[in-house]
Amino acid sequence: MKVRDALRSALLAWYDRQARTLAWRVSPADRRDGVRGDPYRVWLAEVMLQQTTVPHATPYFLSFTQRWPTVSDLAAAPDGELMGAWAGLGYYARARNLLACARAVASDHGGVFPDTEEGLRALPGVGAYTAAAVAAIAFDRPANVVDGNVERVMARLNAVETPLPDAKPQLKALAGDLVTAERPGDWAQALMDLGATVCRPKSPLCDLCPISAWCEGLKTGAAGTYPRKTKKAERPRRYGVAYRLTRGDDVALVRRPPKGLLGGMLGLPTSDWRSTPWSDEEALAVAPVAAAWQDRGTVEHVFTHFSLTLRVFAADGTHDGDFVWTPREGLDALPSVFLKAARTGERLI
Protein backbone atom coordinates (compact mmCIF):
# COMPACT_ATOMS: atom_id res chain seq x y z
CA MET A 1 0.00 0.00 0.00
CA LYS A 2 1.35 3.44 -0.89
CA VAL A 3 2.33 5.70 2.02
CA ARG A 4 -0.43 8.15 1.18
CA ASP A 5 -3.09 5.43 1.14
CA ALA A 6 -1.86 3.90 4.38
CA LEU A 7 -1.81 7.27 6.12
CA ARG A 8 -5.26 8.16 4.81
CA SER A 9 -6.71 4.82 5.93
CA ALA A 10 -5.24 5.22 9.40
CA LEU A 11 -6.64 8.72 9.86
CA LEU A 12 -10.07 7.86 8.43
CA ALA A 13 -10.30 4.76 10.65
CA TRP A 14 -9.44 6.96 13.65
CA TYR A 15 -12.11 9.46 12.57
CA ASP A 16 -14.67 6.68 12.31
CA ARG A 17 -13.99 5.84 15.95
CA GLN A 18 -13.26 9.27 17.43
CA ALA A 19 -15.10 11.91 15.39
CA ARG A 20 -16.20 14.79 17.59
CA THR A 21 -19.95 15.21 17.92
CA LEU A 22 -20.66 18.72 16.68
CA ALA A 23 -24.03 20.41 16.29
CA TRP A 24 -23.51 20.91 12.54
CA ARG A 25 -21.84 17.62 11.80
CA VAL A 26 -23.21 14.45 10.19
CA SER A 27 -21.48 11.51 11.91
CA PRO A 28 -19.23 9.26 9.81
CA ALA A 29 -21.71 6.39 10.34
CA ASP A 30 -24.60 8.47 8.98
CA ARG A 31 -22.44 9.65 6.09
CA ARG A 32 -21.76 6.04 5.21
CA ASP A 33 -25.55 5.62 5.02
CA GLY A 34 -25.65 8.42 2.46
CA VAL A 35 -26.66 11.31 4.74
CA ARG A 36 -25.00 14.58 3.70
CA GLY A 37 -24.63 17.82 5.61
CA ASP A 38 -27.08 20.64 4.96
CA PRO A 39 -24.91 23.17 3.05
CA TYR A 40 -26.59 26.02 4.94
CA ARG A 41 -25.60 24.56 8.31
CA VAL A 42 -22.10 23.67 7.13
CA TRP A 43 -21.56 27.16 5.74
CA LEU A 44 -23.00 28.88 8.83
CA ALA A 45 -20.80 26.81 11.13
CA GLU A 46 -17.68 27.48 9.08
CA VAL A 47 -18.29 31.23 9.10
CA MET A 48 -18.91 31.20 12.86
CA LEU A 49 -15.82 29.09 13.53
CA GLN A 50 -13.45 31.54 11.89
CA GLN A 51 -11.56 33.07 14.83
CA THR A 52 -14.02 31.47 17.28
CA THR A 53 -13.75 28.25 19.29
CA VAL A 54 -16.24 25.37 18.99
CA PRO A 55 -17.63 25.79 22.56
CA HIS A 56 -18.14 29.52 21.99
CA ALA A 57 -19.71 29.14 18.53
CA THR A 58 -22.04 26.22 19.36
CA PRO A 59 -24.78 28.12 21.27
CA TYR A 60 -24.82 30.77 18.54
CA PHE A 61 -25.13 28.09 15.89
CA LEU A 62 -28.05 26.46 17.72
CA SER A 63 -29.84 29.75 18.24
CA PHE A 64 -29.31 30.89 14.63
CA THR A 65 -30.58 27.63 13.15
CA GLN A 66 -33.58 27.63 15.47
CA ARG A 67 -34.43 31.22 14.61
CA TRP A 68 -33.54 30.97 10.90
CA PRO A 69 -33.82 27.29 9.89
CA THR A 70 -32.99 27.89 6.20
CA VAL A 71 -30.75 30.20 4.26
CA SER A 72 -33.86 31.94 2.88
CA ASP A 73 -35.06 32.61 6.44
CA LEU A 74 -31.69 34.12 7.26
CA ALA A 75 -31.77 36.19 4.07
CA ALA A 76 -35.07 37.72 5.18
CA ALA A 77 -33.71 38.76 8.59
CA PRO A 78 -33.49 42.53 9.16
CA ASP A 79 -29.85 43.69 9.37
CA GLY A 80 -30.17 44.97 12.94
CA GLU A 81 -31.71 41.71 14.18
CA LEU A 82 -28.92 39.62 12.71
CA MET A 83 -26.24 41.97 14.03
CA GLY A 84 -27.80 41.74 17.49
CA ALA A 85 -27.88 37.93 17.34
CA TRP A 86 -24.22 37.94 16.26
CA ALA A 87 -23.09 40.17 19.15
CA GLY A 88 -20.43 38.41 21.19
CA LEU A 89 -19.02 36.43 18.26
CA GLY A 90 -16.82 39.37 17.24
CA TYR A 91 -15.37 40.16 13.82
CA TYR A 92 -18.59 41.80 12.71
CA ALA A 93 -17.57 41.94 9.05
CA ARG A 94 -18.38 38.23 9.09
CA ALA A 95 -21.98 38.96 10.09
CA ARG A 96 -22.38 41.48 7.28
CA ASN A 97 -20.88 39.00 4.81
CA LEU A 98 -23.15 36.29 6.18
CA LEU A 99 -26.20 38.34 5.38
CA ALA A 100 -24.92 39.37 1.94
CA CYS A 101 -24.18 35.73 1.09
CA ALA A 102 -27.54 34.45 2.37
CA ARG A 103 -29.34 37.09 0.30
CA ALA A 104 -27.34 36.18 -2.81
CA VAL A 105 -28.17 32.48 -2.35
CA ALA A 106 -31.86 33.31 -1.81
CA SER A 107 -32.21 35.77 -4.67
CA ASP A 108 -29.76 34.46 -7.30
CA HIS A 109 -29.80 30.71 -6.63
CA GLY A 110 -33.39 30.06 -5.51
CA GLY A 111 -32.29 29.40 -1.92
CA VAL A 112 -29.99 26.53 -2.97
CA PHE A 113 -26.23 26.72 -2.41
CA PRO A 114 -24.03 26.10 -5.48
CA ASP A 115 -22.51 22.61 -5.19
CA THR A 116 -19.00 23.33 -6.51
CA GLU A 117 -16.02 25.10 -5.01
CA GLU A 118 -16.02 27.64 -7.87
CA GLY A 119 -19.74 28.33 -7.51
CA LEU A 120 -19.42 28.79 -3.76
CA ARG A 121 -16.35 30.99 -4.14
CA ALA A 122 -18.38 33.37 -6.31
CA LEU A 123 -20.78 34.13 -3.43
CA PRO A 124 -20.19 37.38 -1.54
CA GLY A 125 -17.92 37.01 1.47
CA VAL A 126 -17.08 33.36 0.76
CA GLY A 127 -13.30 32.90 0.69
CA ALA A 128 -11.20 30.01 -0.55
CA TYR A 129 -11.30 28.18 2.79
CA THR A 130 -15.07 28.36 3.30
CA ALA A 131 -15.76 27.38 -0.32
CA ALA A 132 -13.49 24.35 0.00
CA ALA A 133 -14.97 23.35 3.37
CA VAL A 134 -18.59 23.54 2.17
CA ALA A 135 -17.76 21.79 -1.12
CA ALA A 136 -16.06 18.94 0.73
CA ILE A 137 -18.33 18.54 3.75
CA ALA A 138 -21.73 19.27 2.23
CA PHE A 139 -21.16 18.02 -1.34
CA ASP A 140 -18.31 15.51 -0.97
CA ARG A 141 -16.16 17.29 -3.51
CA PRO A 142 -12.43 16.50 -3.30
CA ALA A 143 -11.55 20.03 -2.16
CA ASN A 144 -8.35 20.89 -0.31
CA VAL A 145 -9.60 22.38 2.98
CA VAL A 146 -6.69 24.14 4.68
CA ASP A 147 -7.04 26.18 7.84
CA GLY A 148 -4.53 26.87 10.62
CA ASN A 149 -5.08 23.41 12.12
CA VAL A 150 -4.32 21.67 8.85
CA GLU A 151 -1.27 23.86 8.25
CA ARG A 152 0.04 22.86 11.65
CA VAL A 153 -0.50 19.14 11.00
CA MET A 154 1.20 19.39 7.60
CA ALA A 155 4.17 21.34 8.99
CA ARG A 156 4.71 18.70 11.68
CA LEU A 157 4.02 15.69 9.53
CA ASN A 158 6.60 16.87 6.99
CA ALA A 159 8.95 18.74 9.38
CA VAL A 160 8.67 21.85 7.20
CA GLU A 161 11.45 24.28 8.14
CA THR A 162 10.16 27.26 6.16
CA PRO A 163 8.45 29.62 8.61
CA LEU A 164 4.88 30.83 8.29
CA PRO A 165 3.54 32.75 6.50
CA ASP A 166 5.98 31.94 3.67
CA ALA A 167 5.32 28.22 4.13
CA LYS A 168 1.59 28.55 3.36
CA PRO A 169 1.73 27.52 -0.33
CA GLN A 170 3.97 24.56 0.52
CA LEU A 171 1.68 23.43 3.34
CA LYS A 172 -1.35 23.76 1.09
CA ALA A 173 0.34 21.67 -1.60
CA LEU A 174 1.26 19.01 0.97
CA ALA A 175 -2.35 18.90 2.18
CA GLY A 176 -3.53 18.73 -1.43
CA ASP A 177 -1.39 15.65 -2.05
CA LEU A 178 -3.46 13.79 0.53
CA VAL A 179 -6.89 14.68 -0.90
CA THR A 180 -8.58 12.04 -3.03
CA ALA A 181 -12.10 11.38 -4.30
CA GLU A 182 -12.60 8.84 -1.51
CA ARG A 183 -14.62 10.29 1.40
CA PRO A 184 -13.44 13.89 0.88
CA GLY A 185 -15.90 15.31 3.42
CA ASP A 186 -14.79 12.88 6.12
CA TRP A 187 -11.15 13.44 5.21
CA ALA A 188 -11.45 17.21 5.67
CA GLN A 189 -13.18 16.76 9.02
CA ALA A 190 -10.75 14.06 10.16
CA LEU A 191 -7.83 16.44 9.62
CA MET A 192 -9.69 19.22 11.44
CA ASP A 193 -10.36 16.90 14.38
CA LEU A 194 -6.78 15.69 14.49
CA GLY A 195 -5.53 19.28 14.61
CA ALA A 196 -8.06 20.27 17.26
CA THR A 197 -7.76 17.31 19.63
CA VAL A 198 -4.42 15.52 19.07
CA CYS A 199 -2.01 17.60 17.02
CA ARG A 200 -2.83 20.54 19.29
CA PRO A 201 -1.05 23.88 19.00
CA LYS A 202 0.92 23.79 22.25
CA SER A 203 1.55 20.17 23.20
CA PRO A 204 0.69 17.57 20.57
CA LEU A 205 -0.47 14.21 21.93
CA CYS A 206 1.76 12.17 19.65
CA ASP A 207 1.20 8.98 21.68
CA LEU A 208 -2.45 9.06 20.65
CA CYS A 209 -1.85 10.08 17.05
CA PRO A 210 -3.10 7.68 14.37
CA ILE A 211 -0.54 8.93 11.82
CA SER A 212 2.53 9.12 14.06
CA ALA A 213 4.24 6.35 12.05
CA TRP A 214 4.61 8.78 9.15
CA CYS A 215 5.41 11.93 11.13
CA GLU A 216 8.78 13.49 10.30
CA GLY A 217 8.32 16.13 12.98
CA LEU A 218 8.01 13.42 15.63
CA LYS A 219 11.32 11.94 14.49
CA THR A 220 13.08 15.24 15.22
CA GLY A 221 12.02 14.92 18.88
CA ALA A 222 10.54 18.41 18.81
CA ALA A 223 7.27 18.04 16.91
CA GLY A 224 5.63 20.78 18.96
CA THR A 225 8.07 23.39 17.64
CA TYR A 226 6.48 23.20 14.17
CA PRO A 227 5.25 25.15 12.32
CA ARG A 228 8.19 27.53 12.35
CA LYS A 229 7.09 31.16 12.62
CA THR A 230 8.50 34.48 11.53
CA LYS A 231 8.60 36.78 14.54
CA LYS A 232 5.45 38.85 14.60
CA ALA A 233 5.47 42.61 14.55
CA GLU A 234 3.83 43.88 17.71
CA ARG A 235 0.19 44.83 17.32
CA PRO A 236 -0.12 48.64 17.23
CA ARG A 237 -2.03 50.38 20.00
CA ARG A 238 -4.75 52.93 19.54
CA TYR A 239 -6.44 55.18 22.05
CA GLY A 240 -10.01 56.39 22.23
CA VAL A 241 -12.71 57.70 24.52
CA ALA A 242 -16.17 56.21 25.02
CA TYR A 243 -19.02 58.26 26.47
CA ARG A 244 -21.60 56.59 28.62
CA LEU A 245 -24.56 58.92 28.82
CA THR A 246 -27.50 57.72 30.89
CA ARG A 247 -31.04 58.98 31.37
CA GLY A 248 -32.49 57.06 34.28
CA ASP A 249 -32.40 53.42 33.21
CA ASP A 250 -31.60 54.17 29.59
CA VAL A 251 -28.21 54.47 27.94
CA ALA A 252 -27.46 56.61 24.88
CA LEU A 253 -26.22 54.57 21.92
CA VAL A 254 -25.33 55.57 18.38
CA ARG A 255 -25.39 53.51 15.20
CA ARG A 256 -21.92 53.31 13.68
CA PRO A 257 -21.42 54.08 9.99
CA PRO A 258 -22.15 51.05 7.77
CA LYS A 259 -18.58 50.69 6.54
CA GLY A 260 -15.49 50.14 8.67
CA LEU A 261 -14.82 48.50 12.01
CA LEU A 262 -18.02 47.39 13.80
CA GLY A 263 -19.90 48.96 10.87
CA GLY A 264 -23.67 49.21 11.29
CA MET A 265 -23.51 48.14 14.94
CA LEU A 266 -24.93 50.05 17.87
CA GLY A 267 -22.35 51.28 20.34
CA LEU A 268 -21.51 53.99 22.83
CA PRO A 269 -20.57 57.33 21.28
CA THR A 270 -16.79 57.50 20.96
CA SER A 271 -13.99 59.81 19.91
CA ASP A 272 -11.71 58.87 17.03
CA TRP A 273 -9.31 56.03 17.78
CA ARG A 274 -5.80 57.37 17.30
CA SER A 275 -2.18 56.51 18.05
CA THR A 276 -1.73 58.83 21.07
CA PRO A 277 -3.61 58.91 24.40
CA TRP A 278 -6.40 61.41 25.03
CA SER A 279 -6.00 64.01 27.78
CA ASP A 280 -9.06 64.99 29.87
CA GLU A 281 -9.34 68.29 28.00
CA GLU A 282 -9.23 66.63 24.60
CA ALA A 283 -11.71 63.97 25.67
CA LEU A 284 -14.20 66.54 26.95
CA ALA A 285 -13.78 68.73 23.87
CA VAL A 286 -15.15 66.00 21.58
CA ALA A 287 -17.83 64.66 23.95
CA PRO A 288 -21.20 64.15 22.21
CA VAL A 289 -23.00 66.61 24.54
CA ALA A 290 -21.95 69.11 27.19
CA ALA A 291 -22.48 67.41 30.55
CA ALA A 292 -20.81 66.84 33.92
CA TRP A 293 -18.60 64.06 32.56
CA GLN A 294 -16.77 61.94 35.10
CA ASP A 295 -13.76 59.74 34.44
CA ARG A 296 -14.70 56.09 34.90
CA GLY A 297 -11.34 54.49 34.07
CA THR A 298 -10.21 52.57 31.01
CA VAL A 299 -10.96 49.32 29.22
CA GLU A 300 -8.61 47.31 27.03
CA HIS A 301 -9.74 45.50 23.92
CA VAL A 302 -7.83 43.59 21.28
CA PHE A 303 -8.97 43.73 17.66
CA THR A 304 -7.33 41.76 14.85
CA HIS A 305 -5.06 44.56 13.72
CA PHE A 306 -4.63 46.71 16.83
CA SER A 307 -5.13 46.92 20.57
CA LEU A 308 -7.41 49.61 21.91
CA THR A 309 -7.20 51.50 25.19
CA LEU A 310 -10.52 53.19 25.71
CA ARG A 311 -11.06 55.83 28.40
CA VAL A 312 -14.64 55.84 29.66
CA PHE A 313 -16.44 59.03 30.69
CA ALA A 314 -19.91 58.89 32.18
CA ALA A 315 -22.68 61.43 32.77
CA ASP A 316 -26.33 61.24 33.74
CA GLY A 317 -29.28 63.49 33.01
CA THR A 318 -31.51 64.64 30.19
CA HIS A 319 -29.70 65.62 27.02
CA ASP A 320 -30.71 66.36 23.48
CA GLY A 321 -28.93 64.52 20.77
CA ASP A 322 -29.43 61.96 18.07
CA PHE A 323 -29.22 58.91 20.31
CA VAL A 324 -30.83 55.49 20.43
CA TRP A 325 -31.91 55.32 24.07
CA THR A 326 -31.61 51.72 25.14
CA PRO A 327 -32.60 50.10 28.46
CA ARG A 328 -29.68 48.69 30.45
CA GLU A 329 -30.89 45.13 30.00
CA GLY A 330 -30.62 45.60 26.22
CA LEU A 331 -26.88 46.27 26.40
CA ASP A 332 -25.91 42.60 26.27
CA ALA A 333 -26.37 42.72 22.50
CA LEU A 334 -23.58 45.30 22.13
CA PRO A 335 -20.20 44.38 20.62
CA SER A 336 -18.00 43.35 23.51
CA VAL A 337 -15.78 46.44 23.42
CA PHE A 338 -18.85 48.62 24.11
CA LEU A 339 -20.29 46.21 26.61
CA LYS A 340 -17.02 46.40 28.56
CA ALA A 341 -17.09 50.19 28.41
CA ALA A 342 -20.75 50.30 29.46
CA ARG A 343 -20.02 48.05 32.43
CA THR A 344 -16.90 49.91 33.57
CA GLY A 345 -17.44 51.69 36.87
CA GLU A 346 -20.97 50.30 37.24
CA ARG A 347 -22.27 53.14 39.40
CA LEU A 348 -24.20 54.75 36.58
CA ILE A 349 -25.29 51.47 34.98
Catalytic sites, residue numbers? 46
CB of 209 to ligand SF4, least distance (A): 3
Output DSSP code: residue 194: I
Q: Assign residue 248 a region: left if phi > 0, alpha if psi is -120 to 50, beta otherwise?
A: left
**Do residues 195 and 143 lie in contact, with contact meaning Cβ atoms separated by under 8 Å?**
no
- Closer to ligand SF4 by CB, 153 or 314: give it: 153
Residues 215-254 that bind ligand SF4 (CB under 6 A): 215, 217-218, 223
CB of 178 to ligand SF4, least distance (A): 12
CB of 89 to ligand SF4, least distance (A): 29
CB of 191 to ligand SF4, least distance (A): 10
CB of 154 to ligand SF4, least distance (A): 9
Among 184, 204, 240, 335, binds ligand SF4 (CB under 6 A): 204
Contact flag: residue 156 with ligand SF4 (CB under 6 A): yes
**Do residues 216 and 157 lie in contact, with contact meaning Cβ atoms separated by under 8 Å?**
yes
Per-residue buried b or exposed e for 4-19, using 16+ beta carbons within 10 Å of the residue's own CB: eeebbebbbebbbeeb
* Nearest to 296, CA basis, from 319, 317, 315: 315
Contact flag: residue 209 with ligand SF4 (CB under 6 A): yes
- Residue 261 identity (one-letter amino acid): L
**In the chain, where do the E strands start and end?**
237-247, 250-255, 266-267, 294-302, 307-316, 324-327
Beta pairing, strands 294-302 & 307-316: antiparallel
Contact flag: residue 206 with ligand SF4 (CB under 6 A): yes
Contact flag: residue 136 with ligand SF4 (CB under 6 A): no
Among 97, 158, 212, 271, binds ligand SF4 (CB under 6 A): 212
- Residue 41 identity (one-letter amino acid): R
Beta pairing, strands 237-247 & 307-316: parallel
Contact flag: residue 45 with ligand SF4 (CB under 6 A): no
- Closer to ligand SF4 by CB, 4 or 67: give it: 4
Contact positions vs ligand SF4 (CB under 6 A): 153, 156-157, 198-199, 204, 206, 209, 211-212, 215, 217-218, 223
